Amino acid sequence: MIPEIQPSISREEILCAETQGRPCGLVVFGASGDLARRKIVGSLFDLFRRDLLSPHFYFLGSGRSEFSEQQYRQTVRESIETGDIDPDAIDRFLSSFYYLAGDYTDAAFYASIRKRLGELDQTHNVSECHIFYLSVPPMIYGSITEQLGASGLNQCGKDVCEYPPRLVVEKPFGHNLVSARELDGKIRRHFDESQIYRIDHYLGKETVQNILMLRFANAIFEPIWNRNYVDHIQITIAESVGVEHRAGYYDKSGALRDMFQNHMLQMMSLAMMEPPSSFDAEAIRDEKVKLLRSIRPLQIAGPWNSDIVRARYAPGSVNGVKVQGYTQEKDVSKNSKTETFVAAKIFVDNWRWKDVPVYLRTGKRLAAKRTEIAIQFKQVPHSLFASVGLEEMPPNVLVLKIQPDEGINLSFQAKRPGAKTCMSTLHMNFNYSDLFGSEAPESYQRLLLDCMLGDQTLFARQDDVMIAWQLLDPILEVWSHEDFPLYAYSAGSESFPEADHLIESDGRQWRSLHHS
């Protein structure tokens, strides 16, 4: 058993600043879809229960499916009515839910939304604060924003506008650099950057937000957060699930676009950016962009001398259950060349990180679900204990654990009681759930609340999306050639030789997916 030291926290030490959302009307396009029912509505209900929704909040679902308001409320009720929930609370929550059906390309639909918003603003005493959430396939983002613009819903009705209408968009933000620019052009014809909230749900996860606190609210980490002390960084998003029911989307996307372009690069930039001048959205986003701009272009010369490797899962077994390979999954094209795994080595060419490799990997159907950022420090320069056989000291590793547990783990060496020079690796480990009594809130809660408050800190900015595509476009181009290798790994495995080679050729190893 690895010894663990349990931290504790006293209530007095908790400093909070959580504000209730502003009075507003949230219009969700695609309101009967999977994302709206699973994530958006559930998170709103949790905000409501935590008293973080304004009593003047209302929800206007819209979509192509015909529902009466009563029927829509019933579908919402079914998606939140799990476990021990007070039925009165659900009734109160649902009393501000409304629904309007229509055709997204028809101007008349937007005229009716406008009219309905006017009525609901009066009923709920909301002073023109509207959020439009696009929970629809990206190919219709353009037509909806066009119609919102044409109907004037993108602007305030008043001369002085304190809370201009906001637009929330879900990834993917484009398919490559050209399509991302095109999409951005369409949206920005009608919405200013300050009105656009590009959701990356990883930025709403507690531990991802905690990166900023850990780095900039403590004096002990920043002095060692650089090339003088850090040997390398590993960022992992491993999933044990396969493509599930989303092959229609995923087979055209793949791991590079689905996870790497957004979640992985966002986490990397928060972990490695310079200290911002303030805890202000623009200051933080400027630093993230500067970091992304400093990434050295990846080398993609050939299978054994590339900085990036792709693969897809073959049949295997996950947690003892036999599963099929990617190409046998429902709705996957038989000629598919889509990758379900990507591993890469990245260098950031700046003063702080020059020559410190960052190894990133993400994949589906791996041995376990695990998301983490591991900062591995350099070994001690000289071992005092070499004479008693302890020549190689295990390095200190600071792990920011994001999934399945959310918390932090710091490993260090200590003397074992008894024998004169017997050493152990100890883990100072904390889990949010142990300390704060419950699981961390679903990431959409934070993001929805921030949008209501007009705080864009945890949303991707246009320039950082474009830089990510600039970095990945050459890779997508090379991968589009038929003969570029797409390796296979058995479902349920930890890794495979070509991914291992990427890190082992530098004398390092991937962290196990089963670490605590």
Catalytic residue numbers, as ranges: 263
Q: Nearest distance from residue 175's CB to ligand BG6, in Å?
A: 14
Q: Residue 235: how many CB atoms within 10 A of its CB?
A: 25
258 binds ligand BG6 (CB under 6 A): yes
Judged by CB, which is closer to ligand BG6: 177, or 402? 402
Contact 236, 202 (CB under 8 A): no
Judged by CB, which is closer to ligand BG6: 201, or 232? 201
Q: Nearest distance from residue 207's CB to ligand BG6, in Å?
A: 12
Judged by CB, which is closer to ligand BG6: 145, or 207? 207
Q: Nearest distance from residue 371's CB to ligand BG6, in Å?
A: 6
128 binds ligand BG6 (CB under 6 A): no
Judged by CB, which is closer to ligand BG6: 146, or 258? 258
Q: Residue 430: how many CB atoms within 10 A of its CB?
A: 20
What is the Cα–Cα distance from 417 to 69, expressed in whole angstroms? 68
Contact 198, 205 (CB under 8 A): no
Cis amide leading into 276 (omega within 30): no
Contact 423, 385 (CB under 8 A): yes
**Residue among 241, 197, 265, 226 nearest 461 (CA):** 197
Q: Nearest distance from residue 273's CB to ligand BG6, in Å?
A: 22
Q: Give 419's DSSP letter.
A: S
Q: Nearest distance from residue 201's CB to ligand BG6, in Å?
A: 6
Q: Are strands 316-318 and 321-323 parallel, antiparallel or unpaired?
A: antiparallel
Judged by CB, which is closer to ligand BG6: 336, or 371? 371
Q: Nearest distance from residue 439's CB to ligand BG6, in Å?
A: 13
Contact 453, 22 (CB under 8 A): yes
Q: Residues 182-221 vs ligand BG6: string with x where CB under 6 A?
A: ----------------------------------------
Q: Residues 326-365 vs ligand BG6: string with x where CB under 6 A?
A: ----------------------------------------
DSSP string, 248-260: HHHTTT-HIIIII
**Residue among 381, 410, 404 nearest 393 (CA):** 381
Judged by CB, which is closer to ligand BG6: 249, or 412? 249
Q: Residues 386-425 vs ligand BG6: string with x where CB under 6 A?
A: -----------------x----------------------
251 binds ligand BG6 (CB under 6 A): no
239 binds ligand BG6 (CB under 6 A): yes
377-382: which pairs have CB atoms within 8 A and are 24 or more residues apart?
A: 377/224, 377/229, 377/230, 377/231, 378/229, 378/230, 378/231, 379/231
Q: Which residues bind ligand BG6 (CB under 6 A)?
A: 239, 258, 371, 403
